[in-house]
Amino acid sequence: MHVHSPSELPEGDPFGAATLPYGIFSTPDAPDRPRVGVRLGDHVLDAAAAAAAHGSAHAGLLAQPTLNALMAAGRPVWEAVRREIRGWLQEPYFLPLDAVTLHLPFEVADYVDFYASEHHATNVGRIFRPGMDPLTPNWKHLPIGYHGRAGTVVVSGTDVVRPQGQRKAPDAELPSFGPSLRLDIEAEVGFVVGTPAPAATPVPIGEFREHVFGVCLVNDWSARDVQAWEYVPLGPFLGKSFATSVSAWITPLEAFDAARTAPPERTHPLLPYLDDSAAEPGGIDLRIEVRINGEVVSRPPFASMYWTAAQQLAHMTVNGASLRTGDLYASGTVSGPEPDQLGCLLELTQGKGPYLADGDEVVLTAWAPGADGARIGLGEVRGRILPARTA
């Protein structure tokens, strides 16, 4: 039942031979045998079958139901496997993408969400804290983040039930309980940790590549009414923990080498552990598109992010916190300087709404320039809102 991949992909296909993202798939005839697949165009390489047929030393890693074993194996193995996969692209181990089921690609260990877009932080600060400085005094000195809920990270295509909770309108005397009336999206880019790090051994900026396996798209669904009432003084909690969607494909970090770009100029001196002036350019020129019910509502530019993923990893571990295979950290909402580059409805509607309605479907896509005119895609992250389950 395997087929050959298409020998020619359309020019500029974001899933060409320069991308080759990893995912976990199963087929209808073997639904309980999820395994590693690699996307090429609109086909999936059955990497487990190809590895077994070739007697690859990595066949065991590719027959797993999650990417965690491969991710834990470390960069030399990641590079060896990628070389092997390139050698299998002309072979008959492919399945049509629409004939497989895609699963959550890795077991999420911890989930951290940052707040790294200066434009987003400024806009949200103005809306949530009018009359105060929109950027808090720490913002330019450290990448602000919070710990999210790893167990509610879901794969693209999973429906999202409208959350319920406490919310209090500014003019109401008391809080009330019910379905969120301000359900929002947050367009973000996620980084997936492969190589773990023991406690008390901070990961310097220069070691980012040794630890980060790949990149995905993230939609950090946010109930703004719940969030605005609950977050003082400890930050986001139930307003964001009900669901976080990730793409089914994890694109290897090195696929973005040609898209590396310098982050915006730093306006404040950085402590040495965050100083990236001598490191490889930490930004990535990823262009995101946000669609709601098929219509493009925004094009957030990831290159505009103030804090880089390498700085975020250095900051996450500088206190001695360990890293585990499967740790996911997201960039924070990606918003650019222009009104059509904002990464959430809170900003796109200047806090006035409308927010998501039941039945709305949100799709995030993104691509970055590769070498020789290629496009490097991130897999889409798709989610539809289902009505709240009220009693």
Shorter beta-carbon distance to ligand LGMQ2O6W: residue 115 or 208: 115
Q: Which tokens belong to 132? A: 């105060």
* Binding at 84: pick from Ca ion, Mg ion, ligand LGMQ2O6W, none (beta carbon under 5-8 Å per type): none
Q: Strand 375-386 vs strand 160-161: parallel, antiparallel, or unpaired?
A: parallel
When asked if residue 240 is in the footprint of Mg ion (CB under 5 A), the reply is yes
Mark residues 168-187: x for contact with Ca ion by CB under 5 A, - for none.
------------------x-
Positions touching ligand LGMQ2O6W (CB under 6 A) are 113, 115, 120, 124-125, 128, 186, 188, 220, 222, 231, 236, 332-333
Residue located via tokens 């009505």: 387
Say if residues 201 and 158 touch (Cβ distance below 8 Å). no
Q: Is 360 annotated as a binding residue?
A: no
* Binding at 184: pick from Mg ion, ligand LGMQ2O6W, Ca ion, none (beta carbon under 5-8 Å per type): none
Q: Determine the Cα–Cα distance for residues 86 and 19; give it in Å rounded to an integer.
A: 11
Q: Is 22 annotated as a binding residue?
A: no
Shorter beta-carbon distance to Ca ion: residue 102 or 218: 218
Q: How far is the CB of 25 from Mg ion (least distance, A)?
A: 25
H-type alpha helices, the chain = 47-53, 59-62, 68-72, 75-87, 118-128, 208-211, 224-230, 309-317, 345-348
Q: How far is the CB of 390 from Mg ion (least distance, A)?
A: 21
Catalytic site residue 120? yes
Which of 120, 141, 147, 315 is catalytic? The answer is 120
Shorter beta-carbon distance to Mg ion: residue 62 or 185: 185
Say if residues 42 and 8 touch (Cβ distance below 8 Å). no
Q: Give the number of C-alpha atoms closer than 13 A to the C-alpha of residue 247, restricted to the C-beta side.
A: 29
What is the number of residues in the chain? 391
Residues 6+ apart with CB under 8 A from 53: 93
When asked if residue 220 is in the footprint of Mg ion (CB under 5 A), the reply is yes
Q: Is 311 annotated as a binding residue?
A: no
Q: How far is the CB of 106 from Mg ion (least distance, A)?
A: 17
Q: Determine the Cα–Cα distance for residues 342 and 212; give it in Å rounded to an integer.
A: 27
φ, ψ (nearest 5 deg) of residue 259:
-105, 5
Q: Determine the Cα–Cα distance for residues 37 and 60; give it in Å rounded to an integer.
A: 13
Please report which helix (H) or strand (E) contains residue 35, including its range. Answer: strand 30-40
Q: Is 329 annotated as a binding residue?
A: no
When asked if residue 113 is in the footprint of Ca ion (CB under 5 A), the reply is yes
Q: Is 101 annotated as a binding residue?
A: no
Cα 167 to the center of its chain, rounded Å:
28
Q: Which residues define the annotated binding site for Ca(2+)?
A: 113, 186, 188, 220
Q: Looking at the annotation, which residues are catalytic?
A: 120
Q: Which residues define the annotated binding site?
A: 113, 115, 129, 186, 188, 220, 227, 231, 240, 244, 333
Q: Which residues define the annotated binding site for Mg(2+)?
A: 220, 240, 244
Residues that bind Ca ion (CB under 5 A): 113, 186, 220
Residues that bind Mg ion (CB under 5 A): 220, 240, 244
